[in-house]
Amino acid sequence: MPVNTTHADYEARQEQWKRCRDTVEGSDAIKGEGTVYLPKLTAQDGNEYGAYKDRALFYGAANRTVQGLVGAVFRKEFTYTYPMEEHINLLTTDGLDLWEAARRVVKEILITGRYGILVDTEGDAESQRAFASAYSAENIVNWRAQLVRGRVLLTLLVLREEYEVPSDTDDEFTTGSKTQYRVLKLVPAGNGLIYTQEVHRQNTSKNIDTWTVVERITPVRNGVPLDHIPFVFFNTHQSTPAPEKPPLLDLVDVNLSHYRTSADMEHGAHYTALPTAWIAGFPTTKEFKIGSQVAWVSDKTDAKAGFLEFRGQGLGALRELKKDKEHLMAILGARLLEDQRRAAEAADTYRIRQSGEGGALAAIVRTASDGMRRVLQEIAEWSMAAPAEVAGIKFQLNSDFIAEQMKPEELRQLMEAWQQGGISQDTFLYQLKEGEILPAGRSVEDEKSLIDAETGGGFKSDNVVPMKREFELVQNNGKITGIKEK
């Protein structure tokens, strides 16, 4: 089989990925696919279908849902521990920093439920630092995982890439592109397996579909070949090669159904809502015009004229159907973003609810956080960080998706516990940050520095506040804006 052979699971999911990506992309992408998403009505010719499609309104619910969910994850900063800050500011081969790369990971998982990052260097020189190379679901075309000595290892991975080629003209500003496949393999070597790379490009000198290996390397770290493929999969619930159902798929299907309903409603309104004159008892050979200075005259006393008026219920049914689908899309989007601060409930009920559809965004955050941590570890190992430094690498995205300020009574109780020495200043400030009392972007350490500046440095993090200090809440229009000492 040729190198561009696709995995069976890829073939099963690729139409779903396209549907989701086109829907999130919006109206131009959907209408550009023509009859794929909006079939022709019976006996419609090309011009009639073009007008039918142009009148249809595409409702961008899927795109707004993705934007809202990504915004919910990144409304608070993620936390990380990494020994080499220069890597954080330039993480990927296309110039993204850690924040931008993590944001793209979450967005891609939401759209297709599938993403991947390869950690690699430019060439095989050990002195070159490693970068993260991103691959969308559509470009991870084939893979194989096997049980090797008690471990399930990725032994084959085929990635589709585009590379630039010179233009056929002499214009230096014009370039073209062609497809190549990067093949990552574990091959036998001695008593184990080592990681190799091959780049395959199509052989254009023949009239048959053949591919030629134009590059073959064995990456090394500290002079030693790798014993694994440094590729990290990101799925909705797990980090395995097998793709999962896109989390937005149900919403996307309703979004497309809403588009078709809109087309029918706009089409019906176009033919029924426009005033149409009718006449009876007038000569059929005469052309009649409508205008304030035009009179229709007939010799027949029973001649009649009027306007057609639509009285059916069909458009009303379509209008209600559109509203129902808009409501359903709102429900499906909200189920991905569940308010985690509901009223108290039984532990078993909470566990069951979290394991179902309500925990979808939380599952994506867990998968993305774990995957980004592994990517950072691979990069650090390539830069020959100490084992202890690699083990200490952490990455955690925000999992508090709903903005909800601490209630005044909760803050009073917390303040009382602090004043009476029941909790430390660190705990008090941490709870203020979690309860969104501290200003956005201000850390606990920042707040402690401000307190020290105001009090002359008299209060340290390991001291409690004396009982003689009294505080009160500062409120504006019923909203807590801070606290101050009486």
pLDDT of residue 440: 64
pLDDT of residue 357: 38
Q: How far apart are CA 466 and CA 485, in angstroms?
A: 12
- Encode burial over 380-408: b for 16+ CB neighbours within 10 A, e otherwise: bbbbebeeebbeebebbbeeebeeeeeee
Mean pLDDT computed over 6-32: 95
Per-residue pLDDT for 15 more than 90?
yes
456 or 121, which is more confident: 121
Q: What angle do CA 110, 64, 320 make, to 5 degrees?
A: 115
Give the best-scoring range by mean pLDDT among 106-115, 171-180, 186-195. Answer: 106-115
Per-residue pLDDT for 399 more than 50?
yes
% of the chain at pLDDT higher than 90: 38
- 155 in Cβ contact with 185 (< 8 Å): yes
SS3 content of the chain, % helix, strand, coil (to 5): 40, 25, 35
pLDDT of residue 149: 76
pLDDT of residue 355: 40
Q: How far apart are CA 411 and CA 416, in angstroms?
A: 8
- Other beta carbons within 10 Å of 342: 11
pTM, two decimals, is 0.76
Question: What digits encode the pLDDT tens for the residues 243-277?
Answer: 999 999 989 998 998 888 888 878 777 766 666 77
pLDDT of residue 472: 66
pLDDT of residue 27: 92
Question: What digits encode the pLDDT tens for the residues 324-357?
Answer: 777 777 777 766 754 444 443 444 444 444 443 3
pLDDT of residue 455: 60
30 or 129, which is more confident: 30
- 314 confidence band (pLDDT: 50, 70, 90): low
Residue 122 DSSP symbol: S
- DSSP secondary structure letters along 134-170: EEEGGGEEEEEEEEETTEEEEEEEEEEEEEEEE-SSS
pLDDT of residue 353: 44
